[in-house]
């Protein structure tokens, strides 16, 4: 039986690339989405066309009760997960003096509270399965170095790194690793309207990254070769400090 993996925010962009790569590596992937059922179904269809095993699961990572309810139902029907990729996130950029309280709350609730909301119902079933496991959170270079206009986003992504490292210490003796991947500038919808030429000048490799390059880093951390790596942050940023 294939080992099950949940990818939150897996319907498009980096999440879809991660889901496709993990399915290619032989995992049974569950693609979480919040609203875009069409995009999630398209991601699953693409995986299945290439012989992969994939399905969808709808819930909002910011809704604690919904996470607990839907994940409990899913585990009851499909069994515990071997791995989780916490990829779902959002941003609401603005200079801090002009940042609304709702913008702060929305980003922190989705990006950081989502860590608890998703993983808390899943960790004990993983432990009880005695099969080890993999947890990867998708942080950001902004969570390591900060970024203008992204105080809320940077705070959430830095908190995600700290939470991941702490969880790694708790789960290490269970054979469950927990690591974070921190992308830099990646060609996704998040860069829509951004001054790409100017941003590219800031990157030592002089190009924007691709979703499949982030997915490859996640796939490595899910591999047997990475079984002794935990509590680490892997930057995928073209040398951007």
Domain membership flag for residue 74: yes
Domain membership flag for residue 30: yes
Q: What is the pLDDT of residue 223?
A: 98
Q: What is the pLDDT of residue 32?
A: 98
Chain length of the chain: 241
Catalytic residue among 33, 81, 153, 228: 153
Q: What is the pLDDT of residue 99?
A: 96
pLDDT at 228 over 90: yes
Domain membership flag for residue 223: yes
pLDDT at 23 over 80: yes
Domain membership flag for residue 214: yes
More confident residue, 197 or 213: 213
Domain membership flag for residue 127: yes
Encoded tokens for 58: 């709808």
pLDDT at 128 over 90: yes
Domain membership flag for residue 241: no
- 153 catalytic residue (yes or no): yes
Judge whether 76 and 126 are in contact, CB under 8 Å: no
State the residue range of the domain holding 72.
4-236
CATH number of the structural domain spanning residue 59: 3.40.50.720
In the chain, the number of structural domains is 1
- pLDDT tens-digit series, residues 85-100: 999 999 999 999 999 9
pLDDT at 214 over 80: yes
The Cα–Cα gap between 240 and 183 comes to 10
More confident residue, 207 or 241: 207
């Amino acid at each position: 039986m294939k080992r099950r993996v949940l990818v939150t925010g897996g319907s498009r962009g980096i999440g879809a690339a991660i889901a496709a790569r993990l399915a290619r590596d032989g995992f049974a992937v569950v693609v979480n989405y919040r609203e875009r059922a069409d995009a999630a179904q398209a991601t699953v269809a693409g995986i299945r066309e290439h012989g992969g095993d994939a399905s969808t699961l709808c819930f909002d990572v910011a809704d604690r009760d919904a996470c607990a309810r839907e994940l409990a139902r899913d585990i009851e029907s499909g069994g515990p997960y071997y791995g989780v990729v916490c990829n779902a996130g959002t941003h609401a950029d603005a200079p801090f003096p002009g940042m609304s309280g709702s913008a702060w709350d929305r980003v922190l609730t989705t990006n950081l509270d989502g860590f608890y909301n998703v993983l808390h119902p899943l960790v004990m079933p993983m432990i009880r399965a005695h099969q080890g496991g993999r947890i990867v959170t998708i942080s950001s270079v902004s969570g390591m170095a900060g970024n203008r206009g992204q105080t809320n986003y940077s705070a959430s992504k830095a908190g995600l790194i700290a939470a991941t490292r702490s969880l790694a210490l708790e789960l290490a003796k269970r054979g469950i690793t927990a690591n974070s991947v921190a992308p830099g500038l990646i060609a996704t919808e998040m860069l829509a309207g951004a001054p790409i030429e100017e941003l590219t000048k800031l990157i030592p490799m002089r190009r924007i990254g691709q979703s499949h390059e982030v997915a490859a880093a996640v796939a490595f951390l899910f591999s047997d070769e990475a079984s002794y790596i935990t509590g680490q942050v892997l930057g995928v940023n073209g040398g951007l400090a």
